[in-house]
Amino acid sequence: MEHLDPYQRPPDRIRKIYKDYQKSSIRALDQDSDIIDLTRDLSQAQRKCVRQVSVFQPEHLSDIYNEFVHYGSPHELSTISCMDLQSVRIYEHSSMPGLYIIPSLLPPRIQLTLLSRLLHRDLSNPSHLSNIHTHYHVSYPPNHASFFSLPSSPTSPKLSKKASARTSFPIAIASSDGGIQSFEPFPPRDLTLHKPLPFSSFLSSKLRWFTLGAQYDWTQKTYPSTPAPPFPADLSFLLSRLFSDSAPSSRSEVEQNGGEITYETDTEGEETSSSHVAETWYSMIPQAAIVNIYSAGDTLSVHRDVSEEVGKGLVSMSIGCDGILVLGLENEPSHKSSDGSKFENSACTEAENNCECIVLRLRSGDAVFMTGKSRFAWHGVPKVIEGTSPKFLKDWPAELVCGKRDEEVNEIECSRFENRTGTDDISYPTSKQRDPYAHWKGWMANKRINLNVRQVWD
Ligand SMILES: O=C(O)CCC(=O)C(=O)O
């Protein structure tokens, strides 16, 4: 595999596009016809380059999702019926061969289950390091409880110098009824560089990412050779079944299935065939993941993921607010842009034009699979759009009323797959006993979680 430099500066063109989108207002984003948003009609120019290349069938998906929801426990019940699911279409853009865009792959129940497993369970596992660990001693709630079982706005006492210097804990402060009343701030590793980090900022604004499986070293830009914590088995199952098996149904099956193919002969005269999908669907074994936690307004700068030792596919799944993802592939100097959009700009210098760029609006439940030529594409997130978290997620981690959950999430599933909205009709428990996370209600309203998964070694 070709070795790419993790320190290389991104091409000027994608940097410029990234900066422009960073400055865009929500209104401008809503009206921007260059953004590929597969939930709305594509522009005429986009229809020439975006094609449906394959499909996931509902039966296939419901098997995977039921197994994932009940993973590790014997079950006979089907929580997700294939009747509630629709075929999920897989698209490709002619400028990004091997980049598969899969809108609405995850139905609401799977998004909720995934979110809870990532943030209640995996974040509480001390072997999953976060960016906060680089500068702070992070302490954990007792018995692997969720961080969200702690008060959302603690009445933490000020950390004494002695406590700041301490490297062993407990730091949870018990209340008279035996619960946890508050959490001391996390002491910095170097007191001369950082102040103690209040627990409230850990989850509310400061936590940006944590890692699963192989723990990437952000300073060295390498994966350590020491044994990694096991990749969570249920997530591994979900991702392997979706992305490691053979490529999903071929194009002819799409046609038989009545799938409408948004195919127009593109300007280059090239068609993407089912055999092409099979060739570039580089199955992957999940070995490392980054869980990015964005607040509206956060950004992720343009980069390439090049530290992995194999070029297998990279999966990216989004939950919560919409995100704008800018992607760019460097090409031959003579290559002409195929979409005729503003990304082909005669005012650009040659260096700026030497990178094919596309811009996607990703919504909750969408997935992107970067394989083939696009595996090492430049990409970045210039915008997470405020107020766009779907209704069924807005109150998370507050839970749905016990007993009504199945019925209600099913309702949400149906309505979402019809028109991508949630339902107004979700009720929540009123007592704290029934909902341990009620005091964090609304945390997800302005968050975007991205699960970014890769294979590191053969
Ligand atoms: O949030 C996203 O959509 C992309 C995240 C990403 O590129 C990364 O974690 O490397």
How far apart are alpha carbons 236 and 309 in whole angstroms? Answer: 19
Exposure of 186 in the CB half-sphere (CA atoms within 13 A): 22
> What sign does the CA torsion over 114, 115, 121, 127 have?
positive
What was the pLDDT predicted at 403?
39
Q: Does ligand 1 have an atom closer than 6 angstroms to the CB of 60? A: no
Please give the number of the atom of ligand 1 that sits closest to the Cα of 318.
3
Burial of 206: CB neighbours in 10 Å, binned 0-12, 13-18, 19+: middle
140 and 269: one domain?
no
What was the pLDDT predicted at 185?
87
Q: Which two tokens stand for residue 96?
A: 């990004």
Contact 133, 425 (CB under 8 A): no
Q: Which two tokens stand for residue 425?
A: 């009709």
Residue with tokens 């074994």: 285
Task: List, for residues 125-134, the tens digit of each pLDDT value.
Answer: 999 999 999 9
235 and 337: one domain?
yes
Please give the number of the atom of ligand 1 that sits closest to the Cα of 448.
1
Residue 123, φ and ψ in degrees, nearest 5: -65, -30
Report the separation in Å between the CA atom of 76 and the middle of ligand 1, taken as the mean of its atom positions: 36
Contacts for 262 with CB less than 8 Å, ≥ 6 apart: 42, 47, 50, 51, 52, 91
What does the DSSP assignment read for 229-284? PPPPHHHHHHHHHHHTSS--B-HHHHHHTTPPP-----TT-----HHHHHHH----
276 and 188: one domain?
no
103 and 177: one domain?
no
What was the pLDDT predicted at 78?
75
Three-state DSSP state, 199: helix
137 and 258: one domain?
no
164 and 307: one domain?
no
Last residue of a domain, one of 207, 242, 259: 207
Distance (Å) of CA 448 to CA 27, 297, 381: 19, 10, 11
What was the pLDDT predicted at 410?
54
How far apart are alpha carbons 380 and 354 in whole angstroms? Answer: 18
What was the pLDDT predicted at 58?
95
Q: According to the annotation, is 458 in a ligand binding site? A: no
Report the separation in Å between the CA atom of 20 and the middle of ligand 1, taken as the mean of its atom positions: 19
Domain housing 292: 12-120+228-395+441-454
What does the pLDDT profile of the chain (458 residues) look like in tens digits?
A: 778 999 999 999 999 999 999 999 999 999 999 999 998 889 999 999 999 999 999 999 999 999 999 999 887 777 788 888 999 999 999 999 999 999 999 999 999 999 999 999 999 999 999 999 999 999 898 889 999 988 776 444 444 444 433 333 334 555 555 555 567 889 999 999 999 998 878 888 888 999 999 999 999 999 999 999 999 999 999 999 999 766 676 544 444 444 444 434 333 434 445 557 777 777 889 999 999 999 999 999 999 999 999 999 999 999 999 999 999 999 765 444 455 455 554 544 555 568 999 999 999 999 999 999 999 999 999 999 999 999 999 999 997 643 344 444 555 553 443 344 333 333 444 444 568 898 899 999 999 999 999 999 99
Of 216, 238, 268, the residue nearest 56 (C-alpha): 238
What was the pLDDT predicted at 343?
52
pTM: 0.85
Does 416 fall in a domain? no
What was the pLDDT predicted at 272?
45
Does 7 fall in a domain? no
Does 219 fall in a domain? no
Q: Does ligand 1 have an atom closer than 6 angstroms to the CB of 239? A: no
What was the pLDDT predicted at 248?
76
66 and 191: one domain?
no
Residue owning the nearest CA to atom 8 of ligand 1: 452
Q: Does ligand 1 have an atom closer than 6 angstroms to the CB of 90? A: no
Number of domains in the chain: 2
Burial of 89: CB neighbours in 10 Å, binned 0-12, 13-18, 19+: buried
